[in-house]
Amino acid sequence: MIVDSHCHLDYDGLAEDEAAVVARAVEAGVGLMVTIGTTRAGWAKALGVAERHPEVLCALGIHPHHAGEQGLDDPAPLIEAARHPRVVGIGESGLDYFYDYGPRERQAASFRTHIRAARETGLPLVVHTREAEEDTIAILEDEMVKGAFTGVIHCYSSSRWLAERAVAMGLYLGIGGILTFKKSEAIRATVADMPLDRLLLETDAPYLAPMPLRGRTNEPAFTVHTAKALAALKGLPLAEIERATTANFCRLFTRAAALRPAA
C-alpha cells in the first residue's frame, strides 16, 4: 500500500470530483490519504472529506499564508479540533518568505503555537518552509529543547543543510513530485543520501504533479510516480519503497495507524 501523506482534497481541482479522485487513488494502490485543512474554514472541509471516505484522514492548521489574519496565539482551539478521531496531524504551519503573505513575526508566532499544540496532543507537526530555512530550523530546534515533538518537513525541496538538520532532530521528510523534475538534481542527490526510514511520500495535490504528468492537476493517484522515482534513486524494488514509506507513515502518524483500513 502507498500513502499520500499530504494533499488538499477540498481545494479547487479536486473537490469538484472528490469521490472519483479518491476512487482513482485506491485503484492506483494508494490506501491512505491525509488531506490538510489550512484555514479555520478549511478545518470543517477537511474533516468532512475524512468523514466521507475511510481512506482519507486529515491534519488541521493555519498555513503561514494566512498567519496575518488567522494566525494562532492560543493552541486551545486547535487542540480542541484535533480531538476528532480522524485528525492525525497538526498543520501545515511554518514559514513562507517566498510570498510573504503573512507578516514574518506573525508567521513565527503562529508556528510556535502549532508546535505547542503538537506537543500537547502528541500528534505530528506538518511543517511548511519556503525560503526560510534558517529561521525554520532555529524555531524547531529552540522548541525541541522546550519539549520533544514529532513532525515532517512537508514537500521537501530545499537544501541539504535543512534536510540534515531536520533528520538530526528526528523529523521526517515528505517527498513529492518535485523529486521527478528535470531541474531537481540537487534534491535527488540529497534524498539519495537520506535514511529511508525518514522518508514519506506525498503529492501536495492539486499542485506539483510528478513527471510524466507535470502540468496536469495533481491527485493522490499520482503518488505512485514519485514512489517509482524514489525506488530508482535508492536502487530498491518499488515494493520495498511502498513497504518502507508506509511503515514510516504509521510510525509517525500513530493515530492513522490505528485507523488504517483493512487490506
DSSP classification of residue 205: B
Per the annotation, does 65 bind a ligand? no
Per the annotation, does 6 bind a ligand? yes
Per the annotation, does 204 bind a ligand? yes
Alpha-helical segments (H) within the chain = 18-27, 40-52, 67-70, 76-81, 104-121, 133-146, 160-168, 185-193, 223-234, 238-252, 254-259
Distance between CA atoms of residues 148 and 169, nearest Å: 9
Q: In the chain, count H helices and then E strands.
A: 11, 8
What are the b/e assignments for 134-154, b being 16+ CB within 10 Å?
ebbbebbeebbeeeebbbbbb
What are the b/e assignments for 74-110, b being 16+ CB within 10 Å?
ebeebbebbeeebbbbbbbbbbbeeebebeeebbbeb
Reading the block at residue 176, the C-alpha cell is 513529492
Place of cell 499520482: 222
The backbone torsions φ and ψ at residue 178, rounded to the nearest 5 degrees and listed phi first, read -55, -30
Under 8 Å between Cβ of 174 and 207? no
Per the annotation, does 63 bind a ligand? no
Residues 6+ apart with CB under 8 A from 152: 5, 124, 125, 126, 127, 171, 172, 173, 174, 200, 252
The annotated binding site is made up of 6, 8, 92, 128, 154, 204
Q: Which residues are annotated as a binding site for a divalent metal cation?
A: 6, 8, 92, 128, 154, 204
